[in-house]
Amino acid sequence: MPMMSGKIALMETLRTEGVRYIFGNPGTSEAPIMSALEGYPDLEYVLAVQEGVAMGMADGYARRTGEPAFINLHIHTGLANGISLLTDSFSAGIPLVLTSGNMDARKLSEGRPEVLKMVEANTKWSADVTHAGQMASVMRRAFTEARTTPTGPVFVGFAANALDEIAEQEIFPSAMPRISNQPSARVISEIADLLTDSERPLMLVGDRVSQSGATAAAVAVAEQIGAHVYSAGYTQVVFPTSHPQYMGMMSMRSPAIREQVKRADVVLAVGTRPFGDFFHLGSALLSDDTKFIHIDSNADELGRAIRTDLAVLASPLGALLELSKELENNAPAPFTEAAKKRAASLGALTKAARDSFMEDMRKSDDSTPMSPARMMYELSRAWPENGIMVDDSISSRGALYSAFTFDQPGDLEGEVGAAIGWGMGAALGVKLGSPHRPVIAVLGDGSAMMTVQALWTAASRNIPVIFVICNNSMYRILRVNMNVYLDQVTEQSDMPRKYLGTGFDPTFDFAAIANAFGVQSKRIEDPSEIVLALQTAVASDAPYVLDIAIDGTL
């Protein structure tokens, strides 16, 4: 085997893994890496001037390419800044290889930072490379772990001595796992039997449906059983939003949705954490006679919190395809006819709701500040063909989903919501991963301000992303959640509320901030200006900020 330094083994391994971009913000502990990188022009270093931006970029890039993205941060201090958004990537199962430098392993008694402990709660696997000879094998395993179902972030720390020492290195690509968790015919038959005995089925779909390429299969099963379909959040196209059976995002905060869940006689959850919420809204989410079926490729999600009648560890794609075949071949005729009638009735209701929204927006005046609904309606009128939405709209999300439909996989990337600040960097990563499609990020002002330094990276590399800011001059989501806390959790609806610590006075002037970073921008207060402004931004083929003032009234 050839002899080489740890830092050269790292570079060679990245090249072997097909890495193109290194997202990061370096420090002194990364000096060996940055020095070695000069000899590898095919590995592009994408500099972020805040670590959260680097994390967001890597997250967005991994989503678009389907392969692990590589991030390098600075020892424990830079790593700490990135951990906030690491929580989002971990929750969403995004394949990342996060790394940082560290002190020489011989400085253990002097207080060498324990970087593994810092990340252990939000990574699948982690390792500390303390000898040069460990480098290639550890990095191979890191890439394998990140891309193995259930996918997710991993972490590797580099001791300074391990980067500079010379050792034998064996360089070859990591394993490309091909995992097929195909449920048995008996299990598929059990699921089908429960569903075909149902009169009020409900289906809940999540991110691992889209990650496994199972969106079309989910539609087929939903139509065959005539189910109401909800999504647990909506960070990718897990179900076409214009489909007549799609009812929106599941929120157990809604009394109407809680009642519908209670009425369901069978709930089929696929590729998701079911009924999640920050608040504890009661433990008896299902009726005693409701059957709950959960199919997921992540064993940690099965039986986590809900009484589960049938838990199936399987690929959502494989399970749904087999289930659809079983229903097609063996579902009783009376059940099939009843399912068609249910689906038809749902179609009339959802189409009427969307038509009503669009008609209301067409008739609305140009009063200011405009409503979030009017803003989203105007954006939808100018949306470019083949455009990708990066959704970090936070409390304006309901309006966004009323104005837009997302039917094709790849048309949307959205945040999980454990931490805000994802969207600014993520939009840049999405664009790097899909360079031939327009990328438009719609962001809450509070989230955008967390990682506004992304505008520097956009300008320095001329990454043509359009950042549309929902500027309501507040952390509106905190006001929404304060109302949930007082009205539903503590049942103190009559308590006055001042919403302390949630307002921005003076308001953020994102147009001015963008100009300071060298990014074109426009401040918009009149809704009639949005269509032309978005068309101009798209045509510019350059980074652009549209700072839109909206009404934050609850």
**The CATH number of the domain where 317 resides is what?**
3.40.50.1220
What is the sign, positive or negative, of the torsion defined by CA atoms of 346, 347, 351, 354?
positive
What pLDDT, on a 0 to 100 scale, did the predictor assign at position 175?
Answer: 84
pLDDT digits (tens, 9 = 90+) for 473-531: 999 999 988 998 898 889 898 999 999 999 999 999 999 999 999 999 999 999 999 99
- Tell me: pLDDT of 276 over 80: no
144 and 196 co-located in one domain: no
292 and 405 co-located in one domain: no
Alpha-carbon span 485 to 503, nearest angstrom: 18
446 and 341 co-located in one domain: no
What pLDDT, on a 0 to 100 scale, did the predictor assign at position 503?
Answer: 93
User: CATH number for the domain including 28?
Assistant: 3.40.50.970
pLDDT digits (tens, 9 = 90+) for 77-87: 999 999 999 99
Q: Is residue 463 part of a domain?
A: yes
Alpha-carbon span 28 to 78, nearest angstrom: 11
- Region at 421 (left for phi over 0; alpha for psi -120 to 50; beta for the rest): left
Q: Which domain holds residue 266?
A: 185-349
What is the sign, positive or negative, of the torsion defined by CA atoms of 367, 370, 374, 375?
positive
Q: Is residue 25 part of a domain?
A: yes
191 and 164 co-located in one domain: no
What pLDDT, on a 0 to 100 scale, did the predictor assign at position 344?
Answer: 86
What are 360's two structure tokens?
A: 């209301």
129 and 218 co-located in one domain: no
pLDDT digits (tens, 9 = 90+) for 245-271: 999 998 888 888 888 889 999 999 999
52 and 123 co-located in one domain: yes
Which phi and psi (to 5°) does residue 58 adopt?
A: -65, -40
**Residue where one domain finishes, among candidates 296, 316, 349:** 349
**Cβ-based neighbours of 172, under 8 Å, separated by 6 or more:** 16, 140
333 and 376 co-located in one domain: no
210 and 111 co-located in one domain: no
Q: How confident is the model at residue 403 (pLDDT cuts 50, 70, 90)?
A: very high
For the chain, the average pLDDT equals 94
**Residue where one domain finishes, among candidates 168, 203, 220:** 168
- Amino acid identity, position 358: M
Q: Is residue 175 part of a domain?
A: no
Which phi and psi (to 5°) does residue 49 adopt?
A: -100, 10
247 and 384 co-located in one domain: no
What pLDDT, on a 0 to 100 scale, did the predictor assign at position 304?
Answer: 83
- Tell me: pLDDT of 418 over 90: no
What pLDDT, on a 0 to 100 scale, did the predictor assign at position 258?
Answer: 85
Distance of CA 526 to the CA centre of its chain: 31
Of the candidates 420, 427, 463, 461, which has an alpha carbon nearest to the alpha carbon of residue 442? 427
- Tell me: pLDDT of 192 over 80: yes
Alpha-carbon span 37 to 14, nearest angstrom: 11
Helix/strand/coil for 285:
coil
Of the candidates 306, 308, 301, 204, which has an alpha carbon nearest to the alpha carbon of residue 250? 204
**Residue where one domain finishes, among candidates 301, 319, 349:** 349
What pLDDT, on a 0 to 100 scale, did the predictor assign at position 295?
Answer: 96
What pLDDT, on a 0 to 100 scale, did the predictor assign at position 269?
Answer: 96
Q: How confident is the model at residue 279 (pLDDT cuts 50, 70, 90)?
A: confident
Q: Is residue 357 part of a domain?
A: no
Query: Please, is 504 exposed, middle or buried when counting C-beta atoms within 10 Å of its C-beta (0-12, 13-18, 19+)?
Result: middle
Instruction: Give the percent of the chain with pLDDT over 70.
Output: 99
What pLDDT, on a 0 to 100 scale, did the predictor assign at position 283?
Answer: 60
Which phi and psi (to 5°) does residue 466 adopt?
A: -100, 125
390 and 534 co-located in one domain: yes
What pLDDT, on a 0 to 100 scale, did the predictor assign at position 245?
Answer: 94
What pLDDT, on a 0 to 100 scale, did the predictor assign at position 292?
Answer: 94
**Cβ-based neighbours of 494, under 8 Å, separated by 6 or more:** none
What pLDDT, on a 0 to 100 scale, did the predictor assign at position 346?
Answer: 80
Distance of CA 227 to the CA centre of its chain: 25
Query: What residues does 260 pair with on adjacent strands?
Result: none
**Helix or strand (DSSP H, E) at 10:** helix 6-16
Alpha-carbon span 457 to 463, nearest angstrom: 8
Query: What residues does 202 pair with on adjacent strands?
Result: 228, 267
107 and 195 co-located in one domain: no
Domain count, the chain: 3
Q: Is residue 206 part of a domain?
A: yes
pTM for this predicted structure: 0.95
Q: Is residue 438 part of a domain?
A: yes
Alpha-carbon span 9 to 6, nearest angstrom: 5
Q: How confident is the model at residue 349 (pLDDT cuts 50, 70, 90)?
A: low
**Helix or strand (DSSP H, E) at 323:** helix 316-330
What pLDDT, on a 0 to 100 scale, did the predictor assign at position 274?
Answer: 87
Q: Are 508 and 487 in contact (CB under 8 A)?
A: no
Q: Where are the beta strands (DSSP E) in 210-314?
A: 228-231, 246-249, 266-270, 291-296, 310-313
Q: Is residue 173 part of a domain?
A: no
Neighbours of 183 (CB within 10 A): 19
What is the sign, positive or negative, of the torsion defined by CA atoms of 170, 34, 116, 301?
negative
Q: Is residue 179 part of a domain?
A: no
Neighbours of 150 (CB within 10 A): 17
327 and 392 co-located in one domain: no
